[in-house]
Amino acid sequence: MQKNDVMTEVRTRFAPSPTGFMHIGNLRTALYGYLFAKKHHGKFILRIEDTDRERLVDDAVEVIYRTLRLAGLQHDEGPDVGGNCGPYVQSDRKDIYDRYAEELINRGHAYYCFCDKERLDSLKDADGNRRYDKHCLHMNKQEIEKKIAANIPYVIRQNVPETGVTSFSDLVYGCVTVENKELHDNVLVKSDGFPTYNFANVVDDHLMAITHVFRGMEYLSSTPNYNLLYEAFGWDLPLYVHLPHIMKDKQHKLSKRHGDANFEDFLQKGFLPHAILNYVALLGWNPKNEVEKFTLAELVDSFDISGISKASAIFDEVKLRWLNAQYIKELPFEQFHSLALRYCNDTPTTPVDRELLNRLLQTRISALSDIPAAAAFLDRFEQYDLSLFDCKDAKSTAATAQSVLPSVLSLLENINRWDNDAIFHALEQIAEQTGVKKKTLLWIVRIALTGHVSTPGGASEMCMLLGKKAAVERLKYSLDRLNAV
RNA sequence: GGCCUAUUCGUCUAACGGUUAGGACGCAAGAUUCUCAUUCUUGAAAUAGGAGUUCGAUUCUCCUAUGGGCUACCA
């Protein structure tokens, strides 16, 4: 019996393990849970799943809080904000799991298992796989007590029925049916006394009244095990929303190790938090229209489980860059300016009008990390390749550059107002006088000024950025080089 | 190996039995522009393969292939 979502308040949860960075896939899981809860005026809960004591990483919980905060996904209940279903950290709930494990044992749905590693290994088949043989299931009470008293390590295992089938309906994948004989007697409580995910998620989701379980599809095939547990307790099943994976390429999931799969790395690369969130929202979900840019509120409004796709999606940083560029362009200049300054205050090292530079940059970069390269010409100019003057599109050659640059030089040296319009018009005049096309002349001046094909602005703007002295020096240098050939 | 699951342009996806298979990123070509960039227009580009069901299959069923997941005292 699955819960009826119209009867109860929607409650979703994000339940990460504090094992390090916040993976982009985790972020999406959190996002979908958040969107769904908010869309239905329900609650979004944060629960920390720290039952694997060996994988704990210092500060990982802080990373989770920080990520959620930056992404704007505020949880309504959680370790830091409280709530009626606490504690929200699994390691603080040990006595709760103990109690429910005992109940399960009393009902015959779980049992003590004292098998050691050697015996477990001996159960492996040729392929190295193993299915526990319920060896300890029928141990009598005295024997169990004796072993416990003798301090023999034990685990508590789920007692899965050997016949029948378990099926459930997933809101994304539809009906899933598994034969019980395929299921394993999973460990519910480890020998260190902590529960496994297999047990804790069931107990907690029930106790925290979670109505919709959003999680990665890696849990799809173990969900029957969990359902058997709900059934054993006599609890209603939550509704399941298993999510397809986000991949690095066709073969590999986005890997934690690669260094490009976590939220903070993307921030480091100069992506805006909301751009990342917006992009990730669209990976595996479509809003049923052709809108691609959403505020968080708009996402809440548009979100619907029916738009979630079943197939995994490959993360495409190129498209993320495009979206990020859209968001960067929309930023009020002051905000972009301070972001850009904060992002790289040491590049360029050449003194330059940072405000002007950033104004030019804002419409031309797609991530903050593009700034150093885009501004590199300010610091490094010498020895650029003279073939840059040859451009078919601009109808420019090194020879035309050589012939036209002297007049540009003398004009700029003697110009009385050093401002963009004045410079631009002066350059236009030269084009007229020399009979060189405007586009050609501007190309030549820009190259002679920067030594780069791609610059954060046109010829006159580069003059403004460099200032009269540097501009004239650079033109002289370029002309000398052309003459030397 | 067993079980679960997926498969539309290079990528993200739309079309939930009838469309010239649509959009977006990227790519290419052209146009506009105050030069770079932007912007605009156009173009190339896909239903994994094979059987069925049907008047008609991207869509439903089965098989095959391929990908992913699970098969842990990790989650």
Chain B bases having any atom below 7 Å from a protein CB: 1-8, 10-16, 22-26, 34-38, 67-75
Does any strand B atom come closer than 7 Å to the Cβ of A198? Answer: yes
Chain A residues 418 to 437 whose Cβ lies within 7 Å of strand B are 420-421, 424, 427
Does any strand B atom come closer than 7 Å to the Cβ of A15? Answer: yes
| Catalytic pick among A3, A94, A190, A256 | A256
Q: How many angstroms is C1' of B63 away from CA of A175?
A: 21
Q: How far lies A263's CA from each of A237, A266, A293, A366, in Å?
A: 32, 5, 19, 17
- Nearest nucleotide relative to A290: CA against C1': B23
- Nearest nucleotide relative to A319: CA against C1': B25
- Nearest nucleotide relative to A17: CA against C1': B75
> In Å, how far from its chain's centre is CA A356?
32
Q: Which residue has the tokens 């005026």?
A: A41
Per-residue pLDDT in tens (0 to 9) along chain A, 485 residues: 454 444 689 999 999 999 988 999 999 999 999 999 999 999 999 999 999 999 999 999 999 999 999 999 999 999 999 999 989 999 999 999 999 999 999 999 999 999 999 999 999 888 888 899 999 999 999 999 999 999 999 999 999 999 999 999 999 999 999 999 999 999 999 999 999 999 999 999 999 999 999 999 999 999 999 999 999 999 999 999 999 999 999 988 886 656 657 899 999 999 999 999 999 999 999 999 999 999 999 999 999 999 999 999 999 999 999 999 999 999 999 999 999 999 987 778 888 899 999 999 999 999 999 999 999 999 988 888 898 998 888 888 899 999 999 999 999 998 888 999 999 999 998 998 888 889 999 999 999 999 998 899 999 999 999 999 999 999 999 999 999 97
**Alpha-carbon span A230 to A279, nearest angstrom:** 36
Does any strand B atom come closer than 7 Å to the Cβ of A314? Answer: yes
pLDDT, residue A89, reads 98
**Alpha-carbon span A445 to A434, nearest angstrom:** 14
Pairing state of beta strands A155-158 and A110-113? antiparallel
**Alpha-carbon span A273 to A323, nearest angstrom:** 11
**Alpha-carbon span A373 to A447, nearest angstrom:** 16
Does any strand B atom come closer than 7 Å to the Cβ of A330? Answer: no
**Alpha-carbon span A284 to A361, nearest angstrom:** 32
Q: How many angstroms is C1' of B45 away from CA of A326?
A: 25
pLDDT, residue A7, reads 60
Residue nearest to nucleotide B69 (CA to C1'): A218
Task: Name the DSSP letter for residue A420.
Answer: H
Question: Dihedral angle at the C-alpha atoms of A181, A183, A188, A191, nearest 10 degrees?
Answer: 80
Burial profile A311-323: b = 16 or more Cβ within 10 angstroms, e = fewer: ebbebeeeebbeb
Does any strand B atom come closer than 7 Å to the Cβ of A252? Answer: yes
Q: How far lies A201's CA from each of A25, A47, A104, A119, A330, in Å?
A: 19, 10, 15, 28, 42
Does any strand B atom come closer than 7 Å to the Cβ of A260? Answer: no
CB atoms within 10 A of CB A347: 15
Q: How many angstroms is C1' of B29 away from CA of A460?
A: 29
**Alpha-carbon span A88 to A44, nearest angstrom:** 12
Pairing state of beta strands A187-189 and A174-179? unpaired
Question: Dihedral angle at the C-alpha atoms of A202, A205, A46, A274, nearest 10 degrees?
Answer: 100
Q: How many angstroms is C1' of B75 away from CA of A261?
A: 18
Q: Which one, of A159, A297, A170, A175, lies nearest residue A232 by Cα?
A: A159
Q: Which one, of A340, A355, A351, A375, lies nearest residue A456 by Cα?
A: A375
Helix or strand or coil: residue A319? helix
Which CATH number fits the domain A386-484, given the four candidates 1.10.3720.10, 1.20.120.1200, 1.10.10.350, 1.10.275.10? 1.10.10.350
Does the annotation mark A256 as catalytic? yes
Q: How many angstroms is C1' of B16 away from CA of A71?
A: 33
Domain A1-246 adopts which CATH fold? Rossmann fold (3.40.50)
All structural domains of chain A with their residue ranges: 1-246, 333-379, 386-484
Q: Which residue has the tokens 């009906």?
A: A175
Q: How many angstroms is C1' of B70 away from CA of A29?
A: 19
Does any strand B atom come closer than 7 Å to the Cβ of A138? Answer: no
Question: Are the CB atoms for A427 and A408 separated by under 8 Å?
Answer: yes
**Alpha-carbon span A77 to A74, nearest angstrom:** 9
A131 Cβ contact partners less than 8 Å away, ≥ 6 residues apart: A123, A184
Q: Which stretch of DSSP H or E encloses residue A212?
A: strand A212-216
Radius of gyration from C-alpha coordinates of chain A: 32
Q: How many angstroms is C1' of B63 away from CA of A290?
A: 37
Does any strand B atom come closer than 7 Å to the Cβ of A17? Answer: yes
Q: Is A306 exposed, middle or buried (0-12, 13-18, 19+ CB in 10 A)?
A: exposed
Does any strand B atom come closer than 7 Å to the Cβ of A122? Answer: no
The per-type count for chain A, helices as H runs and strands as E runs, is: 18, 11
- Decide if the complex's ipTM is over 0.85: yes
Q: Which residue has the tokens 């029916």?
A: A306
Q: Which residue has the tokens 């047990």?
A: A199
Does any strand B atom come closer than 7 Å to the Cβ of A91? Answer: no
Does any strand B atom come closer than 7 Å to the Cβ of A313? Answer: yes
Tokens of A330: 């929309």
Q: How many angstroms is C1' of B19 away from CA of A293?
A: 27
Q: How many angstroms is C1' of B69 away from CA of A162?
A: 23
pLDDT, residue A253, reads 86
Question: Are the CB atoms for A215 and A34 separated by under 8 Å?
Answer: no
Does any strand B atom come closer than 7 Å to the Cβ of A190? Answer: yes
Question: Are the CB atoms for A224 and A166 separated by under 8 Å?
Answer: yes
Helix or strand or coil: residue A204? helix
